[in-house]
Amino acid sequence: MSQITDLLLQERFPELWQLCCGFLDLNIEQFMQIQEQLLLEQLTLLQKCKMGRKLLQGAVPKTIAEFREQVPLTTYPDYCPDLLRKCEDDLPAKPITWVQTSGRAGEYACKWVPVSRRFWDEAGLDFAAVALFGSCGGKEKIVIKNNMRLLYAAALTPCLTGNIAKKLQEDVGFAFLPALDEINSMSFEERTENGFNLALAGGMDGFFGLGGVLVGIGEKIKNGSGKLNLFSLLKQPRVAVRFARGMAKAKKEKRHILPRDLWDLKVIVSMGTDSLVYQDRIKALWGRTPLNVYGNSETAVIATQTWDYRDMVFFPNLNFLEFIPAEECLKSKLNPFYQPKTVLLNEVREQETYELVITNFHGGIMTRYRLGELIRITALRNAELGINLPQMVFEQRVDDLIDLGFMRLTERVIGQALENAKIPYHGWMAHKEIAVNPRLRLYLEMQPGYSGNIKELADTIYEEIKKMDDGLYVYKDLASLENLIDFSPIEITLLDAGTFTNYKKIKLNQGADLTELRPPHINPSEEILAQLGIDVVVSPEPAGHKQMVSN
């Protein structure tokens, strides 16, 4: 039995909170002391192994300053072919597992990242903290219990989310629907349907997975509620009773039945940008706000929202954190040989955007590793909750920025604009296009029965984008630019019904992983566009950048 489960069963909640969530009481000086101590321990481990010495390139740093001055920044190719071959003897610590994530076309099919025992044990405390934050009613107001039932809608092991689910099961005692030891042979759709049926029959207390799945399930319940036939459910009395109670609630409020009428969820945890985009819809459908968490295969988990469900706070115990300022990031983009300068967490500035650089603690191998992701520091503390540590939001991949000169757009901004405009879309993609002026080419597959004017649709989305306050990504004086030039930044191409479903079938036939079944929202490759049946031509290459133009 884990220490976390033991404390839960004994209801020793103050001790459990301090164990998992006590870092919230740190000030920035104490946070940095933990970072320094763990980094120096990690440097000793790196200097004793073959791969560590390769990454250090002969340097023997004794301080944080020497580490940042002497050790170069890295990207995944610096770890190849060692990690692809799983050369365990060359690592700082023997892995207990390897985590897999998507690779880069033409270079490596996937990325493998080793995870040491101590790293995973420390990560378990952070995963438990996420569960506590996503369910508590405030500081130390713990409501989670052993054997809570969570609908599982995420990737399997060896992907990170699959490993996290197993860790939560071991350490916190969560029971996932379907059971984790029964799902390896199921497709994603089968797992979700099976888990949904189990939740109908036996109830559920929470959700772990993709926010879009939760919205999809909720919309099906909502839209199908008028056609539900309770007599067909009487073969399963518990399901019939659940629906009868739910329909009674909905009838009293004179509306369709919603998932929140069927279940009273205690926790919803979702990684990725979609949970932010779907946040309001999830709350409306399911009656609870999803907790957003920031992490990836190279780091396990970096930051999390707390019980106010607003901006995120960093964990101090898994990775050493460095931040490349936006201007340094730009210099690096223009000159690949330039080594950008970094700042530390006690040096970041409010409302500034940074590229994140991490170094694993506890025998991990990623060293001054550029995640290629942008975060924005929204505040230096959370005054309302009394958290005296910088607050952040995840923005987007560095290479997923769509820079139109006057506007810089991200997946989150475009997705949120579509949601805010209540566009009835089934799927979307976007890339930069060079015409008279740079513009956003937005591909939309609409829901069946949609009929509308493309120009009005583009104008509506543009107006929603302008309403957002996203710092770096929206130029503040667009109105004056519109008066000066013919600035129509969005062009829309409507796709045939079934375009994204057909793409999914193609990828399934190719044996693709779950993460590859949906094309990327931002900057899909020419190959992906071709698989979707979209004809493109390559425009001239201004400033060395190849742009695509739709036919």
- Sorted by where each begins, the domain ranges of the chain are 3-93+311-399, 120-292, 401-550
- Residues 220 and 139: their CA atoms lie apart, in Å, by 35
50 pLDDT more than 70: yes
- pLDDT at residue number 469: 58
Residue 72 pLDDT greater than 50, yes or no: yes
Of 171-180, 438-447, 492-501, 536-545, the range with the lowest mean pLDDT is: 536-545
pLDDT (average), residues 347-359? 97
Q: How far is CA 400 from CA 11, 307, 506, in A?
A: 46, 30, 24
Grade residue 383 by pLDDT with cuts at 50, 70 and 90: very high
> What average pLDDT does range 304-311 have in this prediction?
96
pLDDT(273) > 90: no
pLDDT, tens digit, for every residue of 168-191? 999 999 999 999 999 988 887 788
Amino acid at position 217, single letter: I
173: nearest Cα among 133, 124, 213, 134: 124
Q: What is the 3-state secondary structure (H, E, C) of 94-141?
A: CEEEEEEEEEECCCEEEEEEEEEHHHHHHHHHHHHHHHHHCCCCCCCC
Cβ contact 290:268 at 8 Å: yes
Q: What is the pLDDT of residues 89-131, one digit of tens each?
A: 999 999 999 999 877 656 777 899 999 999 999 999 999 999 9
- 402, β-bridge pairs: 409
Q: Is the pLDDT of residue 551 over 60?
A: no
Q: What is the mean pLDDT of the chain?
A: 87
Helices (H), 48-99: 50-56, 64-70
